[in-house]
Chains A and B, each alone.
Chain A
């Protein structure tokens, strides 16, 4: 296969469009302009990969490449989100609309001293050098959404937690993406640096309105013995295309946990890469999703065990109805030095219709000899015996199906706290079941 046929040629105008759209701010450092320029060059050179590209086998980017997303969204209208049922939150909240900080809808007063949450663009004007190594380090090659994020770098958050700060609350991050007046894309970059022994819990929710491309990237630096947890949920984005990427680097003794949750998103590519760059780290990646109609959920996880004595656990569960498609591709790379690694991975899919499809690809590469790596994948249907059992006790068929689906996904979310949030997440995954109970023939 030639290199050219692995690309979609339609993306060449993107770089030009972004060059015009992204305005260099006089207060920003010179290297920022360089990162943006390199991003444009990469998108110009590589464009969007076609499905012939191994990493994009199950997800077509043709519609995105040809769509109206080379233009950037305007400031957006918060009024388009009044019907959204936001998650319960009783701590600090930061709200962004199309990447721009909304002061009126944010409340950061309850953040303890030692935790700073700022718009990335502000941070880039101030102590920008702190960010430089992080932002430069993650720029890489052919990835189209990374390139786009670099080309537009500036919107998003910079979150810092000083060493030893143990925040027991939850920082709530709301990303609103509005294509109400004209379709287009928003590119966001959130940078999180958590110091030694610190603790941070984040709940991120993303809501899209109308035809948009939301391109959201998170970079986490997790310090020694630090503990970072994130729950991310994607509300109804019936017309949204989402790319949600995370890169995590963990130092000695740290813990990172991530709960991916989505229901009702037209197209999402969820990529997370965690490098266990220290000893005795633990990573927990969990995901639960529901897709129906022609929705598409593509999950790509990569765990890089580069140091000894680390553990990781991945559990993803998808419920697929209609003609939807769910993808799970999980890579675990155990480097030669990473002795006594204990890595577990499991991916289970529940098909509620015969036209739904699940594609599962566990990819284990192990170069150390004293390791324990296990993976398992199942694709199944609802247990008809269990449905009849429930019905024979008086529970109607739609509710029986809903209960069984709830049971299937609940296990993945059982460590999510508080319980009200967990129950809400389970409800979001199962609320569509009762409406479309009968599997298609």
Chain B
């Protein structure tokens, strides 16, 4: 489904991804772990098509198309979904309007009929119940005044409604208490299926207690330096990322102050 070869990307002239290779097949759940500043969020945003990130080399094939040629909206319509690390607040646009616009944009792209307000409400109420989101949030402006947990649940709700083929969760566990973490994980597990792939980007192992990955990759200084099964996550949890730095010449790059969003 997704095949990434030697992907390099920069932000404002600083190279963040320095040759990432990754292959994701239908039905698989991959976890990408790594310390702050290793390039996790850059990776997620490059796949979603954020234009501040310049791809300088490499190739990304997604379902037999050149993903890098597609605009962010085309990628979404082709089934890629990024759950944001920092969901954006949009005053004046209600959650319902936002989601219906998104859903209909995707349906239009796929040559399907738009959903009307009635069917949409039916669909979204069902999904909200599943994910445990208060229905009141439907008529509130997108993420305006939402708590951290509500924002992340809202991302999962969008994911459930938009029904992606490839979902990327960027630090969706950050800032969540244990209950919220569990509902978010349940939401993800519910959409797990044989024809869908999921990439979970996370700093901590704890989300992976609830979403069991098929593969775990360690991203360090812009490269995937280690890949393995779920037991790799446990090792990282126990030993931290420190062992990766040994033998690395550019330790400072792994502890750069702020991970670009």
Contact = CB atoms under 8 A, between A and B. Distances in A.
User: Are A and B a genuine interacting pair, yes or no?
Assistant: yes
Given A388-B50, A408-B92, A394 B106 contact: yes
Interface residues of B, number: 31
A422 to B, nearest CB: 14
Given A399-B101, A399-B105, A392 B92 contact: no
A407 interface: yes
A438 interface: no
A393 interface: yes
A43 B252 CA distance: 75
Main secondary structure of the interface of B (DSSP, over half): helix
15 contacts: A383-B88, A388-B51, A388-B72, A389-B87, A389-B88, A389-B90, A390-B101, A392-B50, A392-B73, A392-B76, A393-B81, A393-B102, A399-B101, A407-B93, A411-B92
Nearest to B88: A389
A392 B87 contact: no
A408 B141 CA distance: 12
A404 interface: yes
B114 to A, nearest CB: 12
A276 B137 CA distance: 40
Contacts of B77: 394
A396 B93 contact: no
Contacts of B199: none
Interface string B98-130: 110111011001000000000000000000000
B175 to A, nearest CB: 18
Nearest to B99: A393
Give the most central of A385, A394, A403: most B CB within 10 Å: A394
Interface residue range, chain A:
20 to 34
A397 interface: yes
B158 interface: yes
A393 B90 contact: no
B43 interface: no
A386 B92 CA distance: 12
Nearest to B83: A392
A393 B71 CA distance: 11
Contact of A390 (B50, B102, B106, B162): B102
B48 interface: yes
B84 interface: yes
